[in-house]
Structure 1
Amino acid sequence: MASRSSPPYRARKPSIWFEVARRAALALPGVEERVSPTGPVFRIGRRRLAWLDEDGVSLLVPIGADEGEMLSEAEPRTFSMAGQTGGCPLLRVHLAFVAEASLRRILEQAWRDRASKQLQLLAARASGGDPELSEAEEL
């Protein structure tokens, strides 16, 4: 009997906690969920905002090195640094332990770092204006 070879990457089934991350990410303007060979990915255009780690219970989010280190030291059970992608440090967020408000804040910061200025301006106008985003409008 011939055995079938498995694909080089196998999409992980998201954990039950992934639904919280999905809601938080998709609430951000311009974010779409796509399926990759390794699992779900949240994107803004062609840029990755966050994606499910291979373990199926963690979310990887590109974040500034200083903020990532601070979070990792403050809550090592919830956050850890996970290497880099495209020169940007990655924060591993363990979805079973992260507070929903913290997850939203981290995703919002990643969104601000990755969304185009045009998308940020449109989002600010639609929401009645955000002081951080209105500075970009003055430029």
Structure 2
Amino acid sequence: MLAPGPQPAGTAYRWQDGSTRPQLEVAAPGRYEVSVVSPAGCAGQAAVQVRFGDGCPFTIPNIITPNGDGRNETFALPGLEPNAWNIQLYNRWGTLVYQQAPYHGAWDAAGQPNGVYYYLLVHPVTGRRYKGWVEVVR
């Protein structure tokens, strides 16, 4: 399901297939475009490339070693589309220990002990979700 960001009531939508609903359900990969016009006459356009597949389009490591040696210091996600994903990290008891929207690859487990942490990555536009674990070893 694709949807532009929040718009004022009365905004007109037009997707490339001619539909005029605020949201577009997609069933195939491809480029999707929408034009919007607010009640005040302000117009805008946006496009997104939708990809489907079983694999994750970026690398998700399962260990970080924030020990000051300059390697694997943060939970960096090579290939992650910049400024597009939100993240939440939980400890083994399910307590939220970190969140960032959008995620910039900056979690270094500061203030957290060694152990396994569980992440939830969410793309706020497409709703795509990835979850898994990462181990912190110093």
| TM-score, length of structure 1 as denominator length | 0.23
Q: Which has the higher helix share?
A: 1
| TM-score, length of structure 2 as denominator length | 0.23
> Which of the two has higher C-alpha Rg?
2
Q: Which has the higher strand share?
A: 2
